[in-house]
Every structure is written in C-alpha cells, then in structure tokens.
Amino acid sequence: MPHRVRIGVLAAIVAAVVGACSPQPDTAENAGPSVSPTTRTAAQGPRPPGPLFSYLQQVGADGEADRVEREKRVEELVAACMADEGFEYWPREPSPEWDEWEQYTLEYAQQYGYGSSTTGPPSDATEPPDPNEEYVESLSSSARTEYDEAMWDFSDQESPGGCAGDAQTTVYQDGRWEEDPAFAELHAQYETWLFAMLGDPRMADAATEWSACMADAGYDVATPSDAQESLSGASSGVIITPEVQKREIDTAVADLTCQIETDYQTSMLAAQHVMEQEFVDAHREQLEALVEAYALDAG
C-alpha cells in the first residue's frame, strides 16, 4: 500500500525546514549498519496550516480521514477487479496511523537521539490481519501464479499495473491537480515559491535564537537540519559505535531543548505564514478556482 499522497513532493521540504526531529520506528531487525542523515519533522506537535496550505490541504490527501477513505477505495477497486479476473478478494482494513507527534519527546531524545544510529522502541501500531491470506495459500501453484499476475503486472516498471497497480493509480494519481494543464501555471509558481521561501532571509532570522542556544551548548549549526547532518556528513555513512550513538543523543537533546526553550516552531511558522499570505494575496483567484475544481469532499 502506498504512502498517502501529500500536497506535493516539494511540500515535504517545508516540513524539513520548519523543524527536524521526528524519528522513524526502528527494530533490531531493520537497524542498518551505518548512519544516514535524515531530515525529519519538528518535535513540538502538529503544525497548523497557514494561509496557503489551508487552500492546498483541501485538494490533497493530507488528512487522516482522507487517507482512510482512499485506502478503502483502493481495496474496493482491487476486489472488483480481482472478481472480474475470477478470483476472490476481501478488502483489507486501512493501516493504522503512527502518531509521530506523541512518539517524539525530550524523553525519547534522551534515550534514542533522532532514532538514526539507535534502535528505538517499536511502534504500537500493528497492521490489521490480511483476510486474503488463507484463500491465497489454498490456491494451487498455477492458480497462485495467475492470482499474482492478476494482482500485479510489472511489465511496465515505471507504472505497475494489475488490479492493485491500477487501483492505486486511479485513487492516488489520476485527477491530481498538479497534472491539470489548467493549473500548470499555478503549480509552477507554487514550486518556485517553495524554493524561494526556503532561502528567504526571514526563515534564517527565525532560527537565530535557536542557533544561539545551540552555540551556548557547544554546537555551531544554523538549523535543526544542520544539527542532524553534522552527525555523519551529507554523503558518507559512519559505522555505529557507542560513541556515535552518544553523540547523536547529545545532539538531539540539545536540539530539542533549544527548540523548546526558544519556541523555535512558533518563530518558523510565523515567518512561513507571512510568506504564505503573500502567495495567497498574489494568487487568490487561482487558488479559489483550484479548490472549487478539486476539493476532496466534492467527490
């Protein structure tokens, strides 16, 4: 099942800048042998959408309720398609949401750092059982091959088909506003704005107090992303040792402590929202037309 589709790939960059620090759950089985710097989300809780993203969230699958509905729709389409292919298929329940905001706290940082070189606690979320498992196992070898071919067609590696691939394309790709020529200009301007915002001096100014706090703690870094990247460099891995893990934990604790003490997120959000409002003021008519055409609750 694909990850929920967000407003756009570039929008994730905004989350990376407004903060860094929500770990991915790791286990001893999937912990890797080296550290790779990963830009993560801020630790203080979900960020309220600003003026621009209030528009864009209405046309993107970014909410939990919408994620659930889309996953249900995929499963319904797969079931109908597999029935046409002569197989049984029972729709699976949507996967549970992992609450990253509750997961990452100062206490977590004190134990696991960013969760990169350390093995953090497993997620409480468990995948619901697959109601098709017993049926698939009951198929003969030849029938299982036919079932798999009906479910997935990998003849086109760029765009897998089959019942599952077609359903996911229908739900997650077809009809997305980013591909609509009518909004091509708006999308191009939005991408340009995102990159410009990330380099805007107002964003750097918003991190000034956080950076000063980190300097007092012995770290010469400008942003939380810089703090994480300082652990292993931008391109090379580092063999995990107790010393590497301790350095990560110390850095994460200093990072998050300074975020809390300087109210880092509030400063970054304030700067971001000012720039979002500037974009809205310049493109309000286009944004309103976009919501009218692609609002999620409009079907």
Q: Give the Cα separation of 210 and 254 in Å (integer).
A: 10
pLDDT band at 26 (very low <50, low <70, confident <90, very high): very low
pLDDT band at residue 37, thresholds of 50, 70 and 90?
Answer: very low
Nearest C-alpha neighbor of 6 from the set 176, 184, 194: 176
% pLDDT > 70, the chain: 72
Instruction: Give pLDDT, residue 175.
Output: 58
Is pLDDT at 40 greater than 90 in this prediction? Answer: no
- Check: CB of residue 275 under 8 Å from CB of residue 200: yes
The encoded tokens of residue 77 equal 């389409």
Helix (H, G, I), strand (E, B) or coil at 216: helix
Distance, in Å, from the CA atom of 64 to the CA atom of 4, rounded to the nearest integer, reads 9
Q: Considering the entire predicted model, what is its pTM? A: 0.59
Beta bridge partners of 153: 161
Digit-coded pLDDT (tens) for 107-143: 889 998 988 888 766 665 567 789 999 999 999 999 9
Average the pLDDT over 65-78 and give the result. 84
85 pairs with which residues across the strands? Answer: none
Structure tokens at 124: 């409480």
pLDDT in tens, 244-272: 899 999 999 999 999 999 999 888 899 99
The predicted model gives 30-41 an average pLDDT of 33
pLDDT higher than threshold 50 for residue 39: no
Over residues 173-200, the pLDDT tens digits come to 755 787 789 999 999 999 999 989 888 8
3-state secondary structure 10-42: CHHHHHHHHCCCCCCCCCCCCCCCECCCCCCCC
What's 250's DSSP letter?
A: H
Q: Give the three-class secondary structure for 239.
A: strand
DSSP class per residue in 116-164? SSS--PPPS--PPP-TTHHHHHHS-HHHHHHHHHHH-B-SSTTS-BHHH
pLDDT per residue over 192-245, tens digit each?
999 898 888 988 888 999 999 999 999 999 988 889 888 865 445 668 889 989
Beta bridge partners of 161: 153
Q: 10 Å Cβ neighbour count for 290?
A: 22
